[in-house]
Structure 1
């Protein structure tokens, strides 16, 4: 971009940044989204500097660009919300969640969440993803023997944490793992 257009962009940016930001802030739920809208608006202006009207007409042109950016942003949010709702429905119907009664799920989830991250990942790969020791080794980059040792220790820690929590299923859970 030539020096003339670069200088013009700086002038437009300095003149219109605050009004465009205010425009976006009034229309976005999250200030981070407003910042994204402003950044995208000025990115488009930079790429299309030859099309930006001169003088006072630049600001309304930028509002039009920001309006289109907001519309795209809202469409993206709507698609995200629809996909999230569909995923929630799918998860709610998942047989994996049907394995435990609702009251037990929250207790076990709490105990499970208190385990070290490595234990949670290992146990989750076994139970939810149904990986055997060879597959675990491949996924984690470990030997089968190392997986067996870690899995044994993770199961013991989980059973101990369940027992400490007073869960009567601790002994049966241990045998199920």
Structure 2
């Protein structure tokens, strides 16, 4: 009997969904962005599935679904406002305690541009070492390489970056500004 009930429940939901999806999606699209409208339609039919016993028979079905969609939209908008308010508070807090890092930001952007000019095999090794703080043995595990191969790639990449810095790469071609150093090996990294 339980199996029959589940099959009947699934069939009823399919019927409600098939008959009213276009109307609910249209309702959502007229009130929200395409991405938010898709979420709103999905949320509406999730409520309908969970509360299938409360879904009235036609012709009241569509009106009931509109009411659900309206409440889901209100929830969506409240959630967006809370996220925006929290983001504003966090930005204000960060700006009040974090010093100006514009020079460091320029250096990071410049380092990223230098990394992008490396051969493909060296780029991800350098990114994992510098951006993720991984050791050569950890990088080797992530990339499926030997630790020796990782160390060689790191060494070659750092040498290329030092050579580029010494050659005074043209800033208009995406290089570094004078006085901003790209990524290079620290003395202890050179002896790993």
- Common topology (TM > 0.5): yes
Give a deviation string over 1:129-173, Cα, whole Å, max 9, x none: 444444544555544322211211222343455547334569885
Q: TM-score, normalised by structure 1?
A: 0.67
Tell me the number of residue pairs that the alignment of Structure 1 and Structure 2 aligns. 175
In the alignment, the residues of structure 2 paired with residue 93 and residue 119 of structure 1 have an alpha-carbon distance, to the nearest angstrom, of 36
2:66 is the counterpart of 1:63: yes
2:158 is the counterpart of 1:150: no
Instruction: Find 1:22's aligned residue among 21, 26, 31.
Output: 26
Match in the other structure for 1:44: 47
In the alignment, the residues of structure 2 paired with residue 121 and residue 41 of structure 1 have an alpha-carbon distance, to the nearest angstrom, of 43
Q: Which structure is higher in RCO with an 8 Å CA cutoff and minimum separation 6?
A: 2
Match in the other structure for 1:119: 122
Structure 2: which 5+ residue stretches go unaligned?
A: 171-175
In the alignment, the residues of structure 2 paired with residue 173 and residue 7 of structure 1 have an alpha-carbon distance, to the nearest angstrom, of 61
Q: TM-score, normalised by structure 2?
A: 0.63
Contact 2:115 2:126 in 1 (8 A): no
Which structure has greater helix proportion? Answer: 1
Instruction: State the SS of the aligned residue for 1:56.
Output: coil
Instruction: State the SS of the aligned residue for 1:55.
Output: coil
In the alignment, the residues of structure 2 paired with residue 53 and residue 6 of structure 1 have an alpha-carbon distance, to the nearest angstrom, of 16
In the alignment, the residues of structure 1 paired with residue 144 and residue 95 of structure 2 have an alpha-carbon distance, to the nearest angstrom, of 29
- Give the direction of change, closer, same or farther, for the CA distance of 1:99–1:3 in structure 2 (3 Å limit): closer
Match in the other structure for 1:32: 35
In the alignment, the residues of structure 1 paired with residue 18 and residue 164 of structure 2 have an alpha-carbon distance, to the nearest angstrom, of 59
Instruction: Find 2:13's aligned residue among 9, 13, 20.
Output: 9
Q: CA RMSD in A?
A: 4.1
Using the TM superposition, give the Cα deviation of residue 12 of structure 1 relative to its aligned residue in structure 2, in angstroms.
Answer: 2.8
Using the TM superposition, give the Cα deviation of residue 27 of structure 1 relative to its aligned residue in structure 2, in angstroms.
Answer: 2.0
Contact 2:107 2:182 in 1 (8 A): no
Contact 1:159 1:171 in 2 (8 A): no
Structure 1: which 5+ residue stretches go unaligned?
A: none
Using the TM superposition, give the Cα deviation of residue 54 of structure 1 relative to its aligned residue in structure 2, in angstroms.
Answer: 1.6
Give a deviation string over 1:25-49, Cα, whole Å, max 9, x none: 12222x1221122122123212322
